[in-house]
């Protein structure tokens, strides 16, 4: 019998994946967690039925959510990742030698433990001496650390249910205070194709808090529609107009200096959401 995962984030459309093997499936304190081996995308992390990351396409998301802010900041030393328990963003952040400390604040310890076990390609940097893994609530952590981080990456699940508090104006104000004087914030902000209202609202919420707010896109095959948005809020540095001529070379598969600029050029229907 063929086994398929059907992801139904969107009510009237779904993506399906043929499963080779179920490696783990459990109820954690916060959510249903599965790691599945699939024919098309290799192993994937699924939380509450929603695909979070896969071995085959994770690099797009993790490179873009990390390198856009880190190459925009002239000297990022302290980085906070909220969520992101799979460790993919941390792996990319630690490719930057200027980073002295990267804190991962993930609420669900099981995500970290299972990803360490079954997704070592993604979680491999969590044991790095520059990385501190803190298990706890991101909202509380941000509230309790003022003026501390040069970069804050919000690598959350979708803005419904548990992660809802990680989107919106009141959290962005807390983020602003947790950042240093020229700090930069970035979050994954959903698909403008299926959820234009969410993208618009989140962009406007960030814009009300940060002097520089920019939205960019990346193509992520396993997220609904493949069109995925990220929103950057910055106190000072403009990610689109930053001088990248002297930045170091790091190994990537998706990110390039050219793409760093180009990703901010938006298709008209997405650009309209930022007006
Ligand atoms: N964070 C989740 C991105 C949103 C996915 N949404 C969806 N497939 N409907 C990704 C975690 C990777 N570190």
Q: What is the pLDDT of residues 44-101, one digit of tens each?
A: 999 999 999 999 999 999 999 999 999 999 999 999 999 999 999 999 999 999 999 9
Give the pLDDT band (50/70/90) at residue 263.
very high
Q: Which architecture, in CATH terms, is 3-54?
A: Roll (2.30)
Write the residue with the smallest CA distance to atom 5 of ligand 1.
Answer: 52
List pLDDT tens digits, range 2-18: 999 999 778 888 999 99
Give the number of the atom of ligand 1 that is nearest the alpha carbon of residue 9: 9
Q: DSSP alpha helices (H): ranges in 106-210?
A: 109-118, 120-123, 138-144, 169-178, 196-207
How far, in Å, from the CA of 222 to the mean position of ligand 1? 9
CATH topology classification for 58-274: Rossmann fold (3.40.50)
Residue 27: how many CB atoms within 10 A of its CB? 9
What is the Å distance from ligand 1's center to 48 Cα? Answer: 11
Pairwise CA distance, residues 248 & 48, whole Å: 39
CA of 224 to the centre of ligand 1 (A): 10
Catalytic one among 155, 182, 205, 238? 155
pLDDT digits (tens, 9 = 90+) for 146-198: 999 999 999 999 888 778 889 888 999 999 999 999 999 999 999 999 999 99
Query: Does residue 63 contact residue 255 with C-beta atoms inside 8 Å?
Result: yes
Residues with C-beta less than 6 Å from any ligand 1 atom: 9, 50-53, 61, 84, 86, 88-89, 155, 157-158, 188, 223-224
Ligand 1: residue of 50, 56, 87 to mutate (most ligand atoms within 8 A of CB) is 50
Mean pLDDT lowest for which of 61-70, 133-142, 154-163, 238-247?
Answer: 154-163
Rg of the chain (C-alpha set)? 17
Ligand 1 centre distance from Cα of residue 189 (Å): 10
- Identify the H or E element spanning 44: strand 42-47
Q: Where are the domains of the chain?
A: 3-54, 58-274
pLDDT for residue 140: 97
Closest ligand 1 atom number to CA of residue 87 = 13
User: Counting atoms of ligand 1 from 1, which one is nearest the CA of 157?
Assistant: 2
Q: Show binding-site residues.
A: 31, 62, 86, 106, 137-138, 155-158
Q: What is the pLDDT of residue 80?
A: 98
Q: Compare 160 and 206 and report the one with higher pLDDT.
A: 206
* Contact assessment for residue 141 and residue 174, using Cβ atoms and an 8 Å cutoff: no
Distance 15 CA to ligand 1 centre (A): 14
Q: Is 110 a catalytic residue?
A: no
The residue nearest atom 11 of ligand 1, judged by CA position, is 52
Question: Collapsing DSSP states into helix, strand and coil, what is residue 251?
Answer: coil
Report the first-to-last Cα separation within the chain, whole angstroms. 50
DSSP class of residue 265 equals S
CA dist 129 and 249 (Å) reads 22
**Spatial separation of the C-alpha atoms in residues 153 and 149, rounded to whole Å:** 10
């Amino acid at each position: 019998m063929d086994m398929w995962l059907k992801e139904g984030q969107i009510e009237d459309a779904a993506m399906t994946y043929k499963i080779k093997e179920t490696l783990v499936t459990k109820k954690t304190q916060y959510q249903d967690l599965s790691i599945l081996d699939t024919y098309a995308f290799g192993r994937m992390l699924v939380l509450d039925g929603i695909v979070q990351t896969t071995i085959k396409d994770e690099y797009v998301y993790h490179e873009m959510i990390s390198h856009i802010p880190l190459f925009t900041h002239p000297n990022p030393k302290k980085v906070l990742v909220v969520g992101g328990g799979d460790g993919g963003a941390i792996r990319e952040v630690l490719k930057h030698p200027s980073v002295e400390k990267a804190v991962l604040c993930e609420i669900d310890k099981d995500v970290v433990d299972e990803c360490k076990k079954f997704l070592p390609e993604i979680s491999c940097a969590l044991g790095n001496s520059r990385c501190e893994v803190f298990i706890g609530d991101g909202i509380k952590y941000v509230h309790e650390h003022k003026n501390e981080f040069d970069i804050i990456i919000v690598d959350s699940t979708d803005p419904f249910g548990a992660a809802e508090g990680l989107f919106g104006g009141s959290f962005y104000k807390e983020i602003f205070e947790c950042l240093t004087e020229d700090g930069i914030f970035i979050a994954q902000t959903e698909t403008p194709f299926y959820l234009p209202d969410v993208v618009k609202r989140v962009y406007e919420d960030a814009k009300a808090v940060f002097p520089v707010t920019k939205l960019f896109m990346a193509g992520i095959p396993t997220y609904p529609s493949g069109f995925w948005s990220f929103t950057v809020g910055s106190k000072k540095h403009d990610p689109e107009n930053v001088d990248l001529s002297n930045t170091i070379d790091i190994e990537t598969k998706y990110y390039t200096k050219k793409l760093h600029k180009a990703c901010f050029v938006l298709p008209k229907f997405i650009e309209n959401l930022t007006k």
